[in-house]
Amino acid sequence: MTYKKITILSIGSLLIAGITYIVSTHNVTILPKPTGEYAVGFTAYQLIDTSRPESQVEHGNAHRELMINVWYPAQQTSDEKRLYASPLSLPVLKEGFSMLSKQSEVSAEQFSIEHFAYVDSLRSHAVSNAPIAQKQASYPVLVFAPGFGATCQLYSSLLEEIASHGYIIVGINFPHISNPVEFPDGRVVKADIVYREPAEMRAYKDLQYPTLLDDITFVIGQLEIINNNAQHFLYHKLDLQKVGMLGHSFGGTATIGICQTDTRIKVGVDMDGKLNVWNLGKPLIVPCVFLIALHPADMTDPIKKLSQDATVAGQYIELNEMHHGSFGDYYFFVKPNPALNLHPHKDIELIRALLLKILGEYLA
């Protein structure tokens, strides 16, 4: 294995060409388009882990069930892009935007749920169930975990971009952690804990972290089964020698955990996920790249130490002009507080470019 020295960079030292800015209409930002050579396809399906019980069975199956979102390189067959969110999930999504608009990191202007009515007809840049591109025999795979209370859809700008450059992204929506999770039978499972007090939230996250890690481990294990299933649209399309893990916030914390336990992945990328009690005292056994926004030293120092003590390759990249919400689509819907001096389009384009660079280095 080739080892790489840990580097600490600031955003000001990163010069990335080709950043584009997207115009907005009715004060709502249009999502940036993917820049890769491939069209982007999207599909969703359910996985059930029959080896584990579901702790909250009142919501449905007695075993742990997950909803998987897949973005992939597609053949261009239609200009009909999919809706950003389904009608069943929209009320919860707009409720979340309204709650976010009341937090200190966004504009002092507070928005009602009705303000976000435009999201009903907002479309992404992916085509539902498009045929997978045949240019390559198989494609590198990226397993994705969203932040607590978020769904994979809220990272469409990142995930569509990665797929357009020839990667298959397997995103996981976790019941009682992601908000909401919509199942094929019409159930919409909310994570009601999302809007509780910080101390209660921390305790709930600590309680849920082992489940999150078990969910990801299960999905990674399912990749080989899927790849060998002649009835699955991903049949023989997953390059299982090139599997990475990507997560934001709580999903980033879980990514660190995967990098401490699972050698089936070649690299993990933690986007602003901090260490918790489950990560402490455990070394990294596969390379991990940390993309960390501006935070107090009591959060960043433990991550830096984990990076610097690692005997595997990796990087610590400090994005000190970004905020926690810069890694998803959040600031395209709720306006960032002007005092934070954030630039959502520029930030998301920079993160997209960084991710493609990292993935190209470890999964090429």
In a domain, 116, yes or no: yes
Q: Within a domain: residue 156? A: yes
pLDDT score recorded for residue 9: 52
Give the pLDDT band (50/70/90) at residue 25.
very low
Higher-confidence position of 76 and 174: 174
Is-cis flag, bond preceding 184, omega within 30?
Answer: no
Does a structural domain hold residue 63? yes
Dist CA 224 CA 236 (whole Å): 9
Residue 363 has pLDDT above 90, yes or no: yes
Mean pLDDT in residue range 359-364: 94
Per the domain annotation, does 221 fall within a domain?
Answer: yes
- For residue 22, the model assigns a pLDDT of 37
Q: What is the CATH number of the domain that holds 61?
A: 3.40.50.1820
- Tens digit of pLDDT for each residue in 181-218? 999 999 999 887 766 777 888 888 888 999 999 999 99
Dump pLDDT digits (tens) for 150-161.
999 999 999 999
In a domain, 312, yes or no: yes
Q: What is the tens place of the pLDDT at every residue in 322-333?
A: 999 999 999 898
In a domain, 3, yes or no: no
Secondary structure of the chain as H, E, C letters: CCCCCCCEECHHHCCCCCCCCCCEECCEECCCCCCCCCEEEEEEEEEEEEEEECCCHHHCCCEEEEEEEEEEEECCCCCCCCECCCCCCHHHHHHHHHHHCCCCCECCCCCCHHHHHHHHHCECCCEECCCECCCCCCEEEEEEECCCCCCHHHHHHHHHHHHHCCCEEEEEECCCCCCCEECCCCCEECCHHHHCCHHHHHHHHHHHHHHHHHHHHHHHHHHHHHHCCCCCCCCCCEEEEEEEEEEECHHHHHHHHHHCCCCCCCEEEEECCCCCCCCCCCCCCCCEEEEEECCCHHHHHHHHHHHHHCCCCEEEEEECCCCHHHHCCHHHHCCECHHHCCCHHHHHHHHHHHHHHHHHHHHC
**Residue 24 above 70 pLDDT?**
no
Provide mean pLDDT across the span 72-97: 90
Structural domain that includes position 142: 8-363
Mean pLDDT of 90-96: 90
Residue 105 — pLDDT band, cuts 50, 70, 90?
Answer: confident
- Condensed to tens digits (0 to 9), the pLDDT of residues 267-319 reads 999 999 999 888 888 999 999 999 999 899 999 999 999 999 999 999 999 99
Q: What is the pLDDT of residue 26?
A: 40
Q: Is residue 180 part of a domain?
A: yes
Residue 111 confidence (pLDDT): 82
- Write down the pLDDT at residue 60: 62
Domain assignment present for residue 30? The answer is yes
Quick one: pLDDT at residue 112?
85
Banded model confidence at residue 70, pLDDT cuts 50, 70, 90 = very high
Mean pLDDT, all residues of the chain: 88
pLDDT given for residue 203 in this prediction: 87
Residue 104, pLDDT score:
67
How many domains does the chain divide into? 1
